[in-house]
Amino acid sequence: MQLSMRRAAVGIALVSTLALAVAGCGSTTSAAKSGPVALQETGSTLLYPLFNIWVPTYTKSHKGVTITTAGTGSGTGITDAGNGTVQIGASDAYLAPGAPSGLLNIPLAISAQQIMYNVPGFNSTHLQLSGPVLAGIYTGKITNWDDPAIAAINPGKTLPNLKIVPIHRTDGSGDTFLFTQYLSFSNPTTWGSSSGPQYATSITWPPVQGSVSATGNGGMVGALAQNPGGVAYIGISYLNQATQKGLGYAAVQNKAGNFVLPTQANITAAAQGKVSQTPKNEAISLIYSSGAQAYPIINYEYAIVNDQQSSTQVASEVRTFLDWAISSSGGNQQTFLSQVHFLPLPAAVVQLSQNQISEIK
């Protein structure tokens, strides 16, 4: 079966469009002006809950600045930041090689993605799921919860003869980028094509009978709750919402072959294996990290920002907010991050993010 996918988060057409937009934004930079400043953020629905926690606290102590937020999907966040519609685009996916040089992807925190399911009688436990099993489900090769491949990795559990309902995103989604990276890295010969690992914010999903599509992480939670037998990939900032609806989440097989949960310790273990490899532009996959306890689906949450803003005052306010967001005395305090099950940036990554933020003019 051939899968029609793009290899990166942003396609060639989008990169070309953004290149023109970035060039235009650079020509409109003007001198600083006094007075109120309104900033706009849009994009990742995984990051959206954190922005909604940050903004009231930040604007209370920074008079004259307003920040509006919107959860529209990472693809929209990247596009709108590139064309100057918003000052901050939120994305779970880093920019692809060849993206316009004027766009920065700046990590703000570390997050994870859960594989959730709705199997009556098993939602209060943690079923074990692997990359090969998930690839089989999303290609239609595994159709029932009592399939031998699922039974083999869940010894002692008698799963029902219940039809599996694979649920996926329809919007341009960083969560789709993360999930398809996990499928690619854990199934290099069966997911994608002979050209190499295949992943993207949007893909043409294999035509699986009974599959369901949804928009945003909130839509994924709702669709999963409404479809017994369902399985879905959902950002960890929606864990509380999902468990309140009685949904279960899996222990996912990592690169070492172990089945692990998205706990703080396991997310930290995965991050530790990748932090030292983070390049100056901070575009790096944290998926499928080595380590016995490393949770396999984690990522940096990015602010996508044009390095040339519409005025020096706007640029100053964007820099001030982002510096606050990554500070251990600001937005990276555990009091904020724990509400969405995120982890703070390691000190070395904070420095790299600060370096990028300083480029915003």
Model confidence band, residue 192 (pLDDT cutoffs 50, 70, 90) = low
Domain definitions of the chain by residue range: 12-111+299-357, 113-277
Q: What is the pLDDT of residues 341-358, one digit of tens each?
A: 999 999 999 999 999 999
Query: According to the model, what pLDDT value does residue 96 have?
Result: 86
Kindly state which CATH superfamily the domain 113-277 is placed in. Periplasmic binding protein-like II (3.40.190.10)
- 12-111+299-357 and 113-277: same fold? yes
Query: According to the model, what pLDDT value does residue 273 have?
Result: 84
Mean per-residue pLDDT over the chain, rounded: 90
Phi, psi (degrees; rounded to nearest 5) at 130? -120, 170
Average pLDDT over residues 166-191: 94
Q: What is the pTM of this model?
A: 0.89
Q: What is the pLDDT of residues 80-135, one digit of tens each?
A: 999 999 999 999 999 988 887 899 999 999 999 999 999 999 999 999 999 999 99
Q: What is the pLDDT of residues 312-333, one digit of tens each?
A: 999 999 999 999 999 999 999 9
Whole-angstrom distance, CA of residue 69 vs CA of residue 241: 20
**Is a pLDDT exceeding 80 seen at residue 18?**
no
C-alpha pair distances (Å), 123 with each of 85, 118, 159, 237, 244? 42, 6, 12, 19, 11
Query: According to the model, what pLDDT value does residue 5 have?
Result: 39
Torsion of Cα atoms, 104 then 105 then 108 then 111, to 10°: 170
Query: According to the model, what pLDDT value does residue 34 have?
Result: 64
Q: Confirm if 233 and 299 have CB atoms less than 8 A apart.
A: no
Query: According to the model, what pLDDT value does residue 103 have?
Result: 97
**Is a pLDDT exceeding 90 seen at residue 1?**
no
**Is a pLDDT exceeding 90 seen at residue 172?**
yes
Whole-angstrom distance, CA of residue 351 vs CA of residue 290: 24
Q: Confirm if 287 and 299 have CB atoms less than 8 A apart.
A: yes
Class of domain 12-111+299-357: alpha beta
Region of poorest pLDDT, from 13-17, 60-64, 228-232, 293-297: 13-17
Model confidence band, residue 25 (pLDDT cutoffs 50, 70, 90) = very low
Mark 116-137 as b/e (b = at least 16 C-beta within 10 Å).
bbbbeebbeebbbbbbbbbbbb
Q: What is the pLDDT of residues 150-163, one digit of tens each?
A: 999 999 999 999 99
Whole-angstrom distance, CA of residue 184 vs CA of residue 189: 8
Model confidence band, residue 188 (pLDDT cutoffs 50, 70, 90) = confident
**Is a pLDDT exceeding 60 seen at residue 6?**
no
**Is a pLDDT exceeding 90 seen at residue 170?**
yes
Handedness of CA 179, 296, 236, 227 (dihedral sign): positive
- Crossing angle of helices 174-186/74-83, nearest 10°? 120
Query: According to the model, what pLDDT value does residue 10 have?
Result: 38
C-alpha pair distances (Å), 174 with each of 203, 274, 327? 12, 19, 24
Query: According to the model, what pLDDT value does residue 277 have?
Result: 96
Q: Which residues contact 28 (CB under 8 A, 6 or more apart)?
A: 84, 310
Q: Confirm if 142 and 136 have CB atoms less than 8 A apart.
A: yes
